[in-house]
Structure 1
Amino acid sequence: MAKVLYSATMSLDGFIAGPGGDMSWLTEFIGEPNPTADGIVERIGSILVGRRTWGGDDPNKGTDQEGAFGGAWHGPQFVLTHEPPPVAEPDTVFLTDLTEAVAAAKQAAGNKYVNILGADVARQALEAGLLDEILVFVAPVLLGDGTRLFTHPGGTKIKLDRLAEDAFWYEVVR
């Protein structure tokens, strides 16, 4: 059965996107050797993404590295949105309900991961008890502002168990 993974590259000060959703800061870190990052794409069976992330800034737009995971990802993607477009794109399903979106993405993933892209969808999945693991790559840069890896106004303590010694890879404790 598929597990749900939130993976992201984060600045050292905790941002996964810069102000206004800017992702251009990531371009200088794409392609750097990282055994964990290099092997993750083949372990993903589907992607669950929020509408802002799906339609947002791609630092590789217009290049052969455009798309998720520097263009290495090809497969089913599920977009969680309040307003699905009238016409879908190939390999893309638009859904309005988180639980249904996770279930559909898990079915498509088979025995691989459903990888969440987007902080808001990850937060919703975590709060709903649907997120299994978190994998964070830390880039040596300070952004100062933008979209945080995880935000919950008023604060929330989520216990995590470390899954790998050589990476920031954690299991969500329930």
Structure 2
Amino acid sequence: MAGLLYSVSMSLDGFIAGPEGDMSWLAPLLPPPGGEPAPLAAEVGALLIGRRTFGGDDPYRDTEGEGEAFGGGWSGPQFVLTHRPPPHPVPGVTFVGDLDTAVRAAREAAGGLTVNVLGADVARQCLAAGVLDEVLTCVVPVLLGGGVRLFDAPDAGPVALEPLSVDRGPYSTDLRYRVRRN
């Protein structure tokens, strides 16, 4: 069964997007589109994406990688969790109205590879449902001072994580954890 991995880039002060979901801060810190694909892309079989993330700001805006997962370094099945699907189909994207169906479909489509979860709210829902397996936080060298927090669920209580790896790359320090189950 494919595992669910929440992967995210985060500023050193704990924000994954700037005010109003702004992602332009990340653009100068990303590898160029069309270059060497992100190492994570090789283990991903499907994406499970939140609606705000799917329709939000793109750090690859105005480049050849705009609108593409990993800036064009990955292609495959995408599942967007939403109660407001667009009026017209989007090629390669399935819009799903509930978390259980979205997780089941993404796992099946991943073919044994990782389901990459994108979006803070979807990750929070997966964590609450007990289906999130890992968290990969790519800490980038910038301070934003405000915006969207990595994890904002004041009533959730502590979540135990088991460190798996720390990798220092040219654009970030990547911290990977396994979600501990009680």
Q: Normalising to structure 2: TM-score of the pair?
A: 0.89
Report the equivalent of 1:130.
Answer: 131
**1: distance between equivalents of 2:53 and 2:25?**
15
**2: distance between equivalents of 1:151 and 1:123?**
8
1:172 aligns with 2:179: yes
**1: distance between equivalents of 2:8 and 2:53?**
12
**1: distance between equivalents of 2:56 and 2:93?**
15
Deviates more, 1:98-107 or 1:53-62: 53-62
* CA drift at 1:61: 2.0
Report the equivalent of 1:161.
Answer: 162
Question: What is the correspondence of 1:48-59 to structure 2 with a 5 Å cutoff?
Answer: 48-59=48-59
On the 8 A contact 2:81/2:98 being kept in 1, the answer is: yes
On the 8 A contact 2:38/2:73 being kept in 1, the answer is: no
Paired letter, 1:61: R
* CA drift at 1:78: 0.3
Local SS of the residue matching 2:144: coil
Question: Which 5+ residue runs of structure 2 have no aligned equivalent?
Answer: 168-173
Cα displacement string for residues 111-158 of structure 1 (whole angstroms, at most 9, x for unaligned residues): 111001100000000000010000010001111111111111235200
Provide the aligned length of Structure 1 versus Structure 2: 170
Report the equivalent of 2:78.
Answer: 77
Identity over aligned pairs, percent: 56
Local SS of the residue matching 1:73: coil
Report the equivalent of 2:69.
Answer: 68
Cα displacement string for residues 70-106 of structure 1 (whole angstroms, at most 9, x for unaligned residues): 2212111000001112322111000010011011000
Deviates more, 1:123-132 or 1:59-68: 59-68
User: What is the Cα-based RMSD across aligned positions, in Å?
Assistant: 1.4
Report the equivalent of 1:87.
Answer: 88
Local SS of the residue matching 1:58: coil
